Amino acid sequence: MPELIVPNWSTLGEVIRGAEKRILICSPYYTDRSINFLVDNLGDVPVLQFWTRLNPQDWLSGAIEPNCLLALLDTLIHDGRTVDLSISSRLHAKVYAADYKIALLGSSNFSDGGFSTNIELLVKFVDDEAESILKNIETNLPQKLSNMNLEVFKNWVSTSEPIIKNLRKKPDDSPDELSEIQRSLDELFVPPAKNPVNPKDYQLMDSFVEWLRKNEYLPGAKMLLARHFNTDGNNLTGHFKQCYYGALMFLNQNMEIAHYLTEELKTIKEDKIYQPSDDILEEWVDYFEKHSSMRGDDYNFSVLRGYLPSSFGGTCYGGGGGISTFKRMLPLVAEYLSEVGGRD
């Protein structure tokens, strides 16, 4: 029968030491202490599955330590063990398992916060229940992850680590500074387009801004103009530009969604932010992930990823992101396209 537990390092250590054939660690966050803890308790288990996410902002903040993870995986490979490193920028699940005998599922990240300082809960499954749960996870989760070759991971870490160290000395950790690291990661899974998409003349940002000025009465228009011209002093002009081109590219490829959003715009009150439906959000995230390395003269999707939270396919966490700008932008860009003409 499942057991609800308040986790600590000792409970996790019991799970890891109980494995004979395989350890599964699934967590978006991990630190040097948690990696060292795994080393101390791993024993001779021949297989390690490590499912996580790689996010330059997480690395900069210390929420992840890819260099420590690389050192562990490199050692295991040289010892003749099997390593499965799989990642997704949207991963939020936390699972810890020993073979098919024990599984812990819940809120705890693989970190001090998850197993020491935070108030967390995990559900412990054993024997047949653990096996059933884990086989269900293996059926559904890996297809949402991307496997990463150790040599590729090593190259990405060695190239990115000096940049991260340098940025940690600066007070400004803006997504623009991290965009090239994010782009190099995106391109490992989504090859860059050979011919970047060039918006038509009437789709350039200046044309949209002029249209907004003529339609300030529309919900969100005044706020977006304040951000574009920085009259509110929030320095979100970059958010405006990247969110505009992201919405433009997406809707120009999905005009049926654009037509739907033009109707939605009529229902939004002036002081409210548009909330996309689950279906539209799923379509956007799918498009964004498939085009994550795309950029042109006026836009860079790797920068946009740094402005948006993971629920929108981005890598931003906490405040200060561009989600409110993007939400306001979607129905307005849809209306703009419906007036000036969308995809030919």
Please report, to the nearest 10 degrees, the dihedral formed by the alpha carbons of residues 263, 264, 269, 274 taken in order. Answer: -150
Q: Residue 251 — very low, low, confident or very high, per pLDDT cuts 50/70/90? A: very high
Residue 300's beta-bridge partner residues? 295
Only one residue has tokens 């029968």, namely: 1
| 227 class by beta-carbon count within 10 Å (0-12 exposed, 13-18 middle, 19+ buried) | buried
Alpha-helix runs per DSSP H in 94-149: 112, 127-140
* Predicted pLDDT at 199: 82
Work out whether strand 82-87 and strand 146-147 pair parallel, antiparallel, or are unpaired: antiparallel
3-state secondary structure 258-315: HHHHHHHHCCCCCCCCCCCCHHHHHHHHHHHHHCCCCECCCCEHHHHHHHCEHHHCCC
Judge contact between 95 and 137, C-beta under 8 A: yes
| 267 class by beta-carbon count within 10 Å (0-12 exposed, 13-18 middle, 19+ buried) | exposed
Strand order across the beta sheet in which 95-98 lies: 3-5, 122-126, 102-106, 95-98, 22-26, 47-52, 82-87, 146-147
- d(CA 114, CA 125) in angstroms, rounded, equals 18
Segment among 87-91, 211-215, 272-276 with least mean pLDDT = 87-91
Segment among 183-187, 190-194, 223-227 with least mean pLDDT = 190-194
- d(CA 226, CA 230) in angstroms, rounded, equals 5
pLDDT digits (tens, 9 = 90+) for 87-114: 988 899 999 999 999 999 999 999 999 9
For residue 272, pLDDT over 80 is answered with yes
* pLDDT, mean of residues 2-20: 94
Only one residue has tokens 């548009």, namely: 274
pLDDT digits (tens, 9 = 90+) for 56-66: 889 998 999 99
Judge contact between 280 and 299, C-beta under 8 A: no
- d(CA 93, CA 51) in angstroms, rounded, equals 9
Residues 6+ positions from 319 with CB-CB distance below 8 Å: none
Tell me the domains of the chain and their CATH numbers. Answer: 3-161 (3.30.870.10), 179-340 (no CATH)
Report residue 247 as tokens.
Answer: 């919405």
Question: Cα 31 to the chain's mean position, in Å?
Answer: 18
Judge contact between 76 and 46, C-beta under 8 A: no
pLDDT digits (tens, 9 = 90+) for 279-334: 999 999 999 988 888 888 889 898 898 889 888 988 876 655 689 999 999 999 99
For residue 343, pLDDT over 70 is answered with no
- d(CA 133, CA 131) in angstroms, rounded, equals 6
